[in-house]
Amino acid sequence: MASGVFDILHTGHISYLEQAKAMGDELVVVVACDNTVRKRKHEPITPEAMRARIIDSLKSVDMTVIGSDGDIFSTILKIRPDIIVLGFDQAFDEIELRNELEKRGMTAEVRRAGKCADDLTGTRKIISRIMELRGE
């Protein structure tokens, strides 16, 4: 399982999902719901259904679900993955995540994907570059 916002798809996302797919047999991707994006990051540029459709069309992805609003563990409990792959720069604490999974009776392995070598590997980086090109 991998998860993220995936607001503006970029090579960092592609690298993350390809790495996650290589770590297991099947890749389920959780796309953050709009309310979660608003609470944790920013106003979503594209709505959750559109982001999920884009992610679902990728070759490395076997299934895409939109995450629940609130408790991330409710979505994890529904999927029951063997492996949870965190993105290189995702703000999850791996030890805290493992401990919380254990408390809930889950034995999923938690791994972290490596960094992508490309330059524009973040939504905020892309937006900043667009603003720079526009002279803003």
Q: What are 14-62's pLDDT values in tens digits? A: 999 999 999 999 999 999 999 999 998 888 999 999 999 999 999 999 9
Coil, helix or strand for 40?
helix
Q: Which of 92, 76, 115, 116 is nearest to 40 (CA)?
A: 92
> What CATH number is attached to the domain comprising 109?
3.40.50.620
The pTM (predicted TM-score) of the whole model is 0.88
Q: Domain containing 103: what range? A: 2-134
CA 50 to chain CA centroid, nearest Å: 15
Count how many domains the chain has.
1
